[in-house]
Amino acid sequence: MLEARGLSVSFGAQPVLRDIDLTVAEHEFVCVVGPSGCGKTTLLRALAGLTPISSGSALFKGRPVIAPQTELAVVFQDYARALLPWRTVAGNVALALEARNIPASDHAARIAPLLAKLGLSGDGDKFPSQLSGGMQQRLQIARCLAQEPEVLLMDEPFGSLDAITRQQLQDEVARLAKEEKRTVLFITHDLEEAIYLGDRVIALARVKGNLAGRIAEIVDIALPRPRQQLATREDPRFLQYRHRLFRHLE
């Protein structure tokens, strides 16, 4: 579904990513972890067509990604700035429908099920400033789903949320990915979050000397689904994965 072949990105003379090779299969949930500054967000933006690639290629279904496209939806970390403050909740979701040229007469019938799915029923007339942080992020996800993408590219979407809200949204996204049959590439600095959500975890590390990010290890996560916040994290295999991957964050 999504692929990087020898992908490298530099900003001026500074290399940020070097020779990244990875594949994300259809309906797979892949998480990317790594220390700050290793190029996690740059990798996501390159795969989304938002950041120019210096060498190599990003591919979606075998076709080069050279610009943003509707099949690839990005959920940004800064949900407050990703939403349009002058539009209501329903109006923000409608933005994706407008981009797809869906007639305005069909919007209400499409928006209502999405808001219900994300726990925002009854909030359609509110503005983003009237929502909690978790609700704002749910709204951003609802808008992305209205785009009907094949791949969700999520850039540390829960990083600024409190622990309880974060866990609730982790379970929500895992459920949606399965029900909606979405492919997900999920960037996070939280190792436990990556193990909890992912079918695989890709660990990035910086190349010594020039600080360019590279793939240090790819780990298959053999934990049963559906996963549970307590039981899954208490599974001995969960701890083994954490120990195995932690060295890449040091």
Q: What pLDDT sits at residue 45?
A: 95
Q: Strand 213-220: give its sheet, edge to edge.
A: 63-64, 55-60, 2-11, 14-24, 213-220, 200-206, 29-33, 183-187, 151-155, 72-75
Q: What pLDDT sits at residue 165?
A: 85
| Residues 16-64: tens digit of each pLDDT | 999 999 999 999 999 999 988 889 999 999 999 999 999 999 999 999 9
Q: What pLDDT sits at residue 211?
A: 72
Q: What is the DSSP letter of 76?
A: -
Q: In the structure encoding, which two tokens stand for residue 35, read together? A: 């220390």
Q: What pLDDT sits at residue 162?
A: 85
At residue 108, the 3 state secondary structure works out as helix
Q: What pLDDT sits at residue 210?
A: 62
Write out residues in the chain with pLDDT < 50, as ranges. none
Q: What pLDDT sits at residue 37?
A: 83
Q: In the structure encoding, which two tokens stand for residue 200, read together? A: 């695989």
CB count in 10 Å sphere of residue 91: 18
Contact 85, 127 (CB under 8 A): yes
User: For residue 226, is the peptide bond before it cis, meaning its omega torsion is within 30 degrees of 0?
Assistant: yes
228: left (phi over 0), alpha (psi -120 to 50) or beta: beta
Q: What pLDDT sits at residue 170?
A: 92
Domains along the chain? 2-71+150-246 (3.40.50.300), 80-148 (no CATH)
Q: What pLDDT sits at residue 157?
A: 87
Q: What pLDDT sits at residue 12?
A: 85
